[in-house]
Chain A
């Protein structure tokens, strides 16, 4: 190991940002295959099912993009906070509360012109998510409570709060199950079928809707914010070296709060997709683990929007293809894909340096040889 000291400036960008992540991903998927084998199913068959389920037919592909939408939001949420060295594990709770924001705005202002309702609902989702992230941020910066523990606790608290609201306060009293009434149909976000209908293609139901474009816009928003603004620079400075940032006159407190609020707000946007786009009501537990998957998405995408887009798409494939697998293979449940996420976080996050020195020195030596030859 010790003879593999690589001059970082000589390593081409595509080696550290494309080759190494791909090697790590491959390792994670190989171990996942082993788990599927232990569970008593054939991993190669599972891969075939995943590819068929996510690409094989247009409805399946639409589902893949619908999941991708959710993962872009939660992936960006984790990434923004991470640039300030904050581990926002609370995407799940922030998304839950964000959903409450969407619903309350949409149901109370549904008389306004439709694009304005949409815009205000999106703001509602963002603000509610941001507010839920504000308290852990404040406690981290002022009291030093570790943000990982507080955000996890806020997930539990959000879940209790929402169940309380759904059971006792905003429940649709005509139904037994704890969910709200449906939003009026006029303000639903247009679905993919509506668009494809205009183009003359008939497809069956899919949950893909206009929120997908909002997710793409969020990628640009985060890129601009983090890399092209003074605030983004300050935030990364705090994350990189807090002492140096203080010395340069940058307030860590302010940046921690802003980073966490934007992070929580992005997680909250998941509510737009789920409530304004798909189910049109709040159901108990609708964030269904998307918040946690966002961690894997962000780490795989190296916390950059350019990386998060393909990572979110990959998880979209895993989710949609995975549901095909659970349908066809009785021994595999959706929890197997939770384990796969854990492996991806392990190999592309914690163990990202496992083979990095070897791979980088391999390519540097090869390139040197070409130059000398």
Chain B
């Protein structure tokens, strides 16, 4: 039973750790399917974390903080669109600019408003999201297998965890089963054909970026108003890039991207458990190596040892309408 509960808690933390990655990967799918590269997921996630934490602190309600984060992230997505869709600037440069700007701005403002350490004030119970305990979770705990599955794995997560996994079928449905999704994918594959059919390429890309902004805001709010009760500097810690790698590894498809996100989440959950543990034959693994595991995994996955990734055809290219 000891072993079973270990596994259960490992799965539980995998689900929690993967949550921001899933939101970010879904956000990335919208941008990149429409032909716009989005490395700025990292920066937007960080900004959302900052805005959500500051918003809930002043407004006293985490949902209002989330709302503010959504507004700000959509604005950042629009900025990315303004630079790279309207003004045909380099998409990667635009993303790098947004990321560096946000790393600086969030910490600088947190320090200016709340003191030199660059932390926002700790949120109390009313100002943050709490774990949701599903009905009968305590009553069912003692039933073998089902009890563990229901009480220890499914129950007791933050609202974002449930929303993240619900967003995957929703994104799948939008992208692959609606006419909007068809247009979205077409804009990323062959924008001039879409233009010929009378659909505005620029509007489509802006719409995709708007949805991207909404989704990434959830990832940031999860970090600063659910799993943590404040914002601290660079708290996104490369998750935006991991999510992007997961999305590429998942071939720009929600279901496979989800699996890749879970793989990252599992590695991260495992690395926390491996720290300080003596492994047979190898001995204790240096903690730095264990901490670097998700990053090494990203490189390995991206190297496509499991099959080559094919990006949307028109990705990274600004659309130039011929006169």
Which residues of A does B touch, CB under 8 Å? 2, 35, 38-41, 87, 89, 135, 139, 143-146, 148-150, 152-154, 156-157, 160-161, 163-164, 167-168, 292, 295-296, 299, 330-333, 335-343, 345-346, 349-354
Contact = CB atoms under 8 A, between A and B. Distances in A.
29 contacts: A39-B108, A135-B299, A143-B304, A148-B39, A149-B241, A149-B248, A153-B298, A156-B292, A157-B299, A296-B100, A299-B93, A332-B112, A333-B108, A333-B112, A335-B233, A339-B101, A339-B104, A339-B108, A341-B101, A341-B104, A342-B97, A342-B99, A342-B100, A342-B105, A346-B98, A349-B93, A350-B94, A351-B87, A351-B89
A167 B89 CA distance: 43
Nearest to B93: A349
Contacts of B308: 143-144
A75 B245 CA distance: 27
Contacts of A145: 299, 302-304
A206 B175 CA distance: 59
A143 B118 CA distance: 40
B162 interface: no
Looking at A139, A145, A167, the one whose CB has the most chain B CB atoms below 10 A away is: A145
A161 B292 contact: yes
Interface of B is mostly: helix
Given A145-B302, A342-B101, A160 B291 contact: yes
Interface string B97-138: 111111111011101110010100000000000000000000
Interface of B: 39, 82-84, 87-94, 96-105, 107-109, 111-113, 116, 118, 233, 238, 241, 244-245, 248, 286, 288-289, 291-292, 295-296, 298-299, 302-304, 308-309, 323
Given A299-B93, A350-B83, A144 B309 contact: yes
A349 B303 CA distance: 29
B288 A349 contact: no
A335 B96 contact: no
A330 to B, nearest CB: 8
Contacts of B107: 333, 335, 338
Contacts of B93: 87, 299, 345, 349-350
Contact of A353 (B88, B109, B233, B296): B88
A330 B113 CA distance: 11
A82 B102 CA distance: 23
Q: Secondary structure at chain A's binding surface: helix, strand, loop or mixed?
A: helix
Nearest to B292: A160
Contacts of B296: 153, 157
Contacts of A152: 238, 241
A200 to B, nearest CB: 42
Given A143-B308, A149-B39, A339-B105, 16 more contacts: A39-B109, A139-B299, A145-B299, A145-B302, A148-B92, A157-B292, A332-B112, A333-B107, A333-B112, A333-B118, A335-B111, A335-B233, A340-B104, A345-B97, A346-B98, A352-B89
A336 B108 contact: yes
A154 B288 CA distance: 14
Contacts of B241: 149, 152-153
Contact of B295 (A157, A164, A339, A340): A157
Closest 10 CB pairs of A and B: A342-B101, A338-B104, A339-B104, A350-B94, A39-B112, A346-B97, A342-B100, A345-B97, A160-B292, A145-B302
A335 B323 contact: no
Contacts of A296: 100
A341 B292 contact: no
A339 B92 CA distance: 18
A150 B248 CA distance: 13
A144 to B, nearest CB: 6
A164 B98 contact: no
Nearest to A41: B112
Contact of B104 (A154, A156, A342, A354): A342
Contacts of B291: 160
B142 to A, nearest CB: 42
Given A160-B291, A168-B286, A149 B96 contact: no
A338 B302 contact: no
Contacts of B94: 346, 349-351
A38 B54 CA distance: 15
Contacts of B302: 139, 143, 145-146, 149-150
A161 B288 contact: yes
A35 B108 contact: yes
A350 B90 contact: yes
Nearest to A344: B97
A292 B291 CA distance: 22
Nearest to A31: B101
Nearest to A143: B303
A340 B291 CA distance: 31
B286 A335 contact: no
A349 B90 CA distance: 7
B202 to A, nearest CB: 13
A331 B108 CA distance: 8
Contact of A139 (B96, B233, B303): B303
B292 A342 contact: no
A341 B39 CA distance: 17
B109 A38 contact: yes
A345 B108 contact: no
A333 B295 contact: no
B116 A338 contact: no
A160 B116 contact: no
Contacts of A89: 96
Contact of B288 (A135, A164, A330, A339): A164
A124 B93 CA distance: 31
A342 B102 contact: yes
B288 A163 contact: yes
Contacts of A35: 105, 108
B309 A154 contact: no
A164 B107 CA distance: 27
B36 to A, nearest CB: 12
Contacts of B323: 2
A261 to B, nearest CB: 18
